[in-house]
Structure 1
Amino acid sequence: MTVSRRRFLVGGAATLAAAGAAFGALDAVDGTLVQHGLHKLGVARSPDLVLPRPPLTELNGSFDSRYLKRSVGWRITRPPGSAPLDGVLVCLHGYGGNHLWAFDVVHVPAAAAHVGLRVAVAGVDGGHDSYWHRRADGTDALAMLLDEFVPLVRRRVGHHRQALMGWSMGGYGALLAAERSRPEWVAVAPASPALWLAAADTAPGAFDSPADFAANDVFTGEQTLAGLGIAVACGTEDPFYAATRALVARMDFPHHTWFTYGFHDAPFWRAAAPVQLRDIAPSFRAA
C-alpha cells in the first residue's frame, strides 16, 4: 500500500501528539519520567558537541589476556610529531562497548585537541558486561587493565602521567580502578558512572551477588581519590544522577563537577569531555 507524504506526516504528528498527551498526563507526577519517555522516543536528547577530527598517529592491536581468557583488542592514538606528551588518557568503555568507544562514540582525541591537551588516548576491550571487576566466572577486567594493558601502553608510548576516563559502566570502572590503584593515576574523569546505592537496585548482571556488590562498592573508597584531579559529569535526566550526586557529596576534598541538562547518551558524553579534560589538565602539568 502506498502512503502519501501528507498521510505520513499527519499520522506521525498524531502519534507524537498522543505520546505527548500521555507524557503530559504524567508531567504533574514526575517531570523526569516525562523526559525519560521523550528520550526513549527519540524526541528529546542531550545537547551535542561535534568537533573536527585532529591529525593522529594510530596504533591498533590485540593480545591474549590471561585475565579475560580471550583475545583483547586495543587502540592507542597520539598527536603527530616529536613534541612531548602531556600524558596518557586510559579510557574505559560502557556496557556493550569495546576498545573503540573513546574514539568512535565520544571522540576523545578531538576533545583533547580542543582544550590544548597533547595526550595519547588508549582504549581496551574490557568485555561486554564485565563492569570492570573480577567476576564469578574467574574473569577479571580490572586486573587485565592494570596488569596487562597499562604496561602495554607504556611500552608503546613511554612512561607519562596517566589519567582515567570512563562512561557509564566504564565510569564506574574508572572510579574503581582509581581507588584500587591510586599511585598509577594523576586524575580520574568519569561521565554518567553506573552507580547504585544498594545491591537490590543494580542492573541485572552488573554484579554476581550482594557480596560482590559490597566488595566492589566505590562508595567505600572515595577518600582514596583525594589529591587526584577529579572531574565528574552527569546529566540531570540521567538515571544515575542521584547516585552520582551522592558519591560527589562524600568528597570533602577538591574536585570538579559538571551537572547539567542531559541524558545517558553519547551527545552528553561528547559535550562533557572537553569540560572534564580542561578540569583535569593541571594534573598532567603539575610540577
Structure 2
Amino acid sequence: MLSRRALLRTGAAAGVAGIATVAALETGVIPGRARIHDALGLTGPDGVIPDVPVGPVVSGSFDSVGRRTKVGYSVLYPDGYDASAALPVVLVLHGRGGDHTSAVNDLGIDRYLTATVRSGTPAFAVATVDGGQNSYWHRRADGNDPGYMLDQEFLPLLAERGLRTGRYGVLGWSMGGYGALLWVALQHSRAVAVGALSPAVWREYDEVQAGAFDGPEDFERSQVFGRPSGFRDVAVRIDCGRDDPFAAAAKDLRDELRAAGGQQAGAHTPGYWRRMLPDQLRFLGGKLGQ
C-alpha cells in the first residue's frame, strides 16, 4: 500500500501530467483538440438555417473556355423579388469537393439570403458556379482556369440576366474562401467587398494539402499574403473558428489586411459556416448597398 506521502507525490505528478496534456492539446502539439472541444461543447453551436421562404432560383450551365468543360451555376434571389430584378450580386465560391449546389445543399444560403434582406440589409442576389472540386480557384498546369471563367464568362452571363455587375461582392468558404481572396487580390477592382469563411491559406509550401498547388512556384504565384495593394478600396472580412487548422494563418492574414471578422468558437465544419453566414451576408450586402 502506498504511503500518504507517495499518494500525494503520485497525485501531484498526475496533476502536472494532466495540465501538460491539456496545454499540449491547446497548442496543437497533440492532435485532436477540435474533437475534444466539440465533445465538451467548446466549438460553439451549429448555425440553424432560418425558417423563411426561399426566393426564385435560376439554374443552368454553359460551355466554359476557361474551365474546359460544361459548368453549372445557380442564381438565387431573396423572397419578394422576381428573377428579373436588377440587383447587385455576390459571387459565391464553394469549398473543396463541392459544386454550385453546395451553397444551398450544405449551407442553406438561399434562406439566409431572404433572412438577411428581411432584417434590413439592402437586397442583393447570390450567384454560385462550379469552380472544380480541387482547383483551389486558380489557374492550374492542366489549363483549368476558374478565374478566367469568373471574369470573362460568368460575370457577363450575370449581366445579361440583368444583374448589376459594375460592382459586386465575393464570398467563399474553405477552398472557396482562399479563392475569393486570391481572385480579388490579383486583378478584380470591381469587387467592393470580399468575405472568407475558414479560408484554406498556408504560409509555407510544405504545409499545403496535396493537390492544392502544382508545385512551389505555383504556390508562390498564388499567395494571398504580401498583396495588400490588391485589396485597396476593397472591404475584407475573414472569419475562422479557433479549432480550425487554418486558424493561425487566417488570423495572420486578417491582421495583415486589417480586415473585419475574427476568431470564434468553431471548427472547419458546415455548422460553423452556417453560424457565421448571417454576419458575412450582412457585411457584403451592406457594402454593396452603400
Q: Give 4+ residue runs of structure 1 displaced > 6 Å after superposition.
A: 39-44
TM-score (norm 1): 0.83
Q: Give the aligned residue type for 1:278.
A: R
Query: Paired residue for 2:246, among 237, 240, 249?
Result: 240
Q: Give the aligned residue type for 1:66.
A: V
Greater alpha carbon shift after TM alignment, 35-44 vs 52-61: 35-44
2:261 corresponds to which residue?
257
Between the aligned partners of 2:51 and 2:19, the Cα distance in structure 1 is: 38
Q: Aligned residues: percent identity?
A: 35
Between the aligned partners of 1:132 and 1:41, the Cα distance in structure 2 is: 34
1:195 touches 1:243 (CA, 8 Å); kept in 2? yes
Q: What is the 5 A alignment of 1:33-72?
A: 33-38=31-36, 46-50=44-48, 51-72=50-71
1:180 Cα deviation (Å)?
Answer: 2.0
2:24 corresponds to which residue?
29
| Cα-to-partner distance string for 1:134-161 (whole Å, 9 max, x where unaligned) | 1111111111111111111111233243
Query: Which 5+ residue runs of structure 1 have no aligned equivalent?
Result: 1-22
2:43 touches 2:265 (CA, 8 Å); kept in 1? no
Between the aligned partners of 2:260 and 2:193, the Cα distance in structure 1 is: 11
Q: Which has the larger radius of gyration?
A: 2
Q: Give the aligned residue type for 1:89.
A: V
Between the aligned partners of 2:86 and 2:111, the Cα distance in structure 1 is: 15
Q: Give the aligned residue type for 1:47.
A: P
1:276 corresponds to which residue?
280
Between the aligned partners of 1:121 and 1:99, the Cα distance in structure 2 is: 11
CA RMSD of aligned residues (A): 2.4
Query: Paired residue for 1:158, among 163, 184, 192?
Result: 163
- Structure-2 change in CA distance of 1:156 and 1:273 (3 Å): same
1:39 Cα deviation (Å)?
Answer: 7.1
1:229 touches 1:283 (CA, 8 Å); kept in 2? yes
Greater alpha carbon shift after TM alignment, 41-50 vs 28-37: 41-50
| Cα-to-partner distance string for 1:61-104 (whole Å, 9 max, x where unaligned) | 11111121111111111134369655211000000000012211
TM-score (norm 2): 0.83
1:233 touches 1:257 (CA, 8 Å); kept in 2? yes
